[in-house]
Chains A and B, each alone.
Chain A
């Protein structure tokens, strides 16, 4: 999974969010606010991070995760951890 391209990882993030929230992936745009626009609660945020950490095989710190606000933040968060 670490060898996937940035675009593939971005797609994975959007698809994972769409699946967890049971919404059309087209509605999950990069600038969407996870809570306000997509209605994601803290529990779903944890499910999202759990799924991403398994899929991308990265170790995530929860304190950092709390700073994620948008879909693009989530992608950047993943990229940062993959770069380590």
Chain B
């Protein structure tokens, strides 16, 4: 498992261990390993540019899950992002070939798919050229091209293309960061469009099933539940009693705002509430056809309520958002203070 310390990786490890599979996991010096340590995998130190260590880690494995490739947390340097993404995939695929790994399951993104086709997009709707308008999508597209090269060289690779993942163990607060911002009243703006929200545990199940039964070279898009940002935020605001984010931007304005905020956050490695790659996915805004994953792998999306509630529980446990009892108490206190303030104000006016 490459990427065992990350969001999808931790959930794939859980899914594998639930099936009694023993897991060997690579880690990097900057990995957040505290959560994966609880799963007690067999650890191997292997940076992604160290093909020797990767090959050693892979030797004897039945399957290599590669969920730890470059994730552009900032969309500020297109060329560097693409180069790094390509290098990561090349290194892993080369090591897998040298180690005679029977199969690699590679985690990509629905963002690589063609947004211009009519109707829902499926995993075969690919573009000839990388997307111009999105560093995130172009990076993921380039990484898939490296997978294609490895397939052509004889490696057995199956690709999983998940939608925007939500659920437990989003250690680095990827998509789940939007929930954190919303629950903390710190989401100043948003952009509307179609989003495909996948429960990360369903995505993990797709990975495991793909390892077991998919034909060589198969691709599985898994969008989960398709909705719009507006509908999602309305649901969350109603469900959790939080403020609906105040400022709606059109896509062009959202691009600019996200870029400016990322440029400000990058020097301190900060994460912005509405990252550029999420704006890119919303702007791409296509309904994803996940039927191949259902028909061939038997994985269907669980209901959105379970995903959202479990994601929130995990965020509460980690202290990213107030626990519900505290949130209610704060709201009550604010309400009481507001009433007292209004009374005092009314009183002063009387005087």
Contact surface of A with B, Cβ cutoff 8 Å:
39, 41-44, 46-47, 49-50, 53-54, 59-60, 62-63, 65-66
Contact surface of B with A, Cβ cutoff 8 Å:
5, 30-35, 37, 171-173, 268-271, 317-320
- Within the complex, which residue of A39, A47, A66 is in contact with B30, where a contact is CB–CB below 8 Å? A47
Q: A49 vs B317: C-alpha distance in the bound complex, in angstroms?
A: 17
How near does chain A come to B99, taking the closest CB pair, in angstroms? 25
How near does chain B come to A28, taking the closest CB pair, in angstroms? 17
- List the 8 shortest-distance A-B pairs measured between CB atoms, nearest first: A50-B33, A46-B32, A66-B319, A50-B34, A50-B32, A49-B34, A47-B32, A60-B34
The 13 listed contacts between A and B (C-beta, < 8 Å) are A41-B270, A42-B318, A43-B269, A44-B269, A46-B34, A46-B171, A47-B30, A50-B33, A62-B34, A62-B35, A63-B317, A65-B34, A66-B318
A63-B317, A66-B319 known; A39-B32 Cβ under 8 A: no
A46-B32, A47-B32, A63-B317 known; A53-B171 Cβ under 8 A: no
How near does chain B come to A19, taking the closest CB pair, in angstroms? 10
User: 15 additional contacts, CB 8 Å, given A42-B318, A43-B173, A50-B5?
Assistant: A39-B268, A41-B268, A41-B269, A42-B319, A43-B32, A43-B271, A44-B269, A46-B32, A47-B30, A47-B32, A50-B32, A54-B33, A59-B37, A60-B34, A65-B34
Q: Which residue of B lies closest to A49 (CB)?
A: B34
Chain A residue numbers with a CB within 8 Å of B318 are 42, 62, 66
Q: Report whether over half of chain A's contact residues are helix, strand or loop; otherwise say mixed.
A: helix
Chain B residue numbers with a CB within 8 Å of A65 are 34
How near does chain A come to B36, taking the closest CB pair, in angstroms? 9
Q: A44 vs B317: C-alpha distance in the bound complex, in angstroms?
A: 18
B34 touches A53 (CB 8 A): yes
Residue with the highest number of chain B CB atoms closer than 10 Å, among A43, A44, A63? A43
Chain B residue numbers with a CB within 8 Å of A53 are 33-34, 37
Chain A residue numbers with a CB within 8 Å of B171 are 46
Q: A52 vs B12: C-alpha distance in the bound complex, in angstroms?
A: 25
Chain A residue numbers with a CB within 8 Å of B319 are 42, 66
Chain A residue numbers with a CB within 8 Å of B173 are 42-43
